[in-house]
Amino acid sequence: MTKVTLAYATPSEWTETVLADFDRFLLDHAAAEKKASGMAVSMLSHYPDRVELVEAMADLAVEEMTHYREVVKLIHNRGQLTAKDDKDPYVNQFRKALRNGAEEYFLDRLLIGGIIEARGAERFGLIAEALEPGPLKKFYTSITRSEQRHEGLMVDLALLYFDRAEVMERLQQLIDIEADIIAALPLRAALH
C-alpha cells in the first residue's frame, strides 16, 4: 500500500481541544464515517466499468458503515444522541481543488480521498495515543490502522488507472493544498 506523507502535522492543541469536548468529537466522527461510506458508494456508482474500484469501494462502504455503527454505540453508551450532520469546512474547501474533465476529476477524487484518509489516520492516532488504556483507546488504535489502509487503497487505485508520474505529481500538489487548508482552520472538537 502506498503511504501518503502529509505536509502539515496536527498540533497537540488539536488533541487537547478534542479531549476537552469528546462527546462533540464523537458526533463529528460518526458523521465522518457515514460520509466516507457514502463517498465509496458514490465512487462505485459513478465508475461501474472499473472492476477493481467497484470491488474495493463496496468493501470500503461496508467497513466505513461498520465504523459508523461502532461510533453510534459509543455515543449512545455515553447517554448522547446522534445529531444532524454539520458541513465539514475542510472537505468543502478541499473539494474546490477538484479539476474539470472526466479523467482529471476521477484522479482527483481518488487522491483527495486518500489524503483525507491519511489525515484521519494521523488524527485518530493522536487520539489513540492520548487516551488512557481501555476499550476506547483500543477502538481508536484500530480505527487508525483502518484509515492507514484506506489512504493506501485510494492512491493504489489511482496508480492502477493512471500513469505513476502523473499520480505522484498531482498527489504532491493536493498534499500541499490540503496542508494550507488544514493549517488555516480553527481548532475544534472535530476530525477536521
Question: Angle at the Cα of 87 (from 123 to 107), degrees rounded to 5?
Answer: 70
pLDDT band at 85 (very low <50, low <70, confident <90, very high): confident
- What is the C-alpha separation between 155 and 1, in angstroms, rounded? 8
Cα–Cα distance, 3 to 118 (Å, whole number):
8
Per-residue model confidence (pLDDT) at position 2: 87
What pLDDT, on the 0 to 100 scale, is given for residue 100? Answer: 96
Q: Has residue 106 got a pLDDT over 90?
A: yes
Domains of the chain: 12-184 (1.20.1260.10)
**pLDDT above 90: residue 86:** no
The model's confidence at residue 187, banded by pLDDT at 50, 70 and 90, is very high
Mean pLDDT, rounded, of the chain: 96
Convert the pLDDT of each residue in 45-67 to its tens digit: 999 999 999 999 999 999 999 99
* pLDDT (average), residues 2-15: 96
The confidence score (pLDDT) of residue 163 equals: 97
**Buried/exposed 56-75: b ≥16 CB within 10 Å, e otherwise:** bbeebbebbbebbebbbebb
Contact between 158 and 110 under an 8 Å Cβ cutoff? The reply is yes
Residue 1: the pLDDT is 80
Q: What digits encode the pLDDT tens for the residues 145-173?
A: 999 999 899 999 999 999 999 999 999 99
The residues, any chain, with a CB within 8 Å of residue 82's CB and separated by 6 or more, are 27, 30, 72, 75
Residue percentage of the chain with pLDDT more than 90: 95
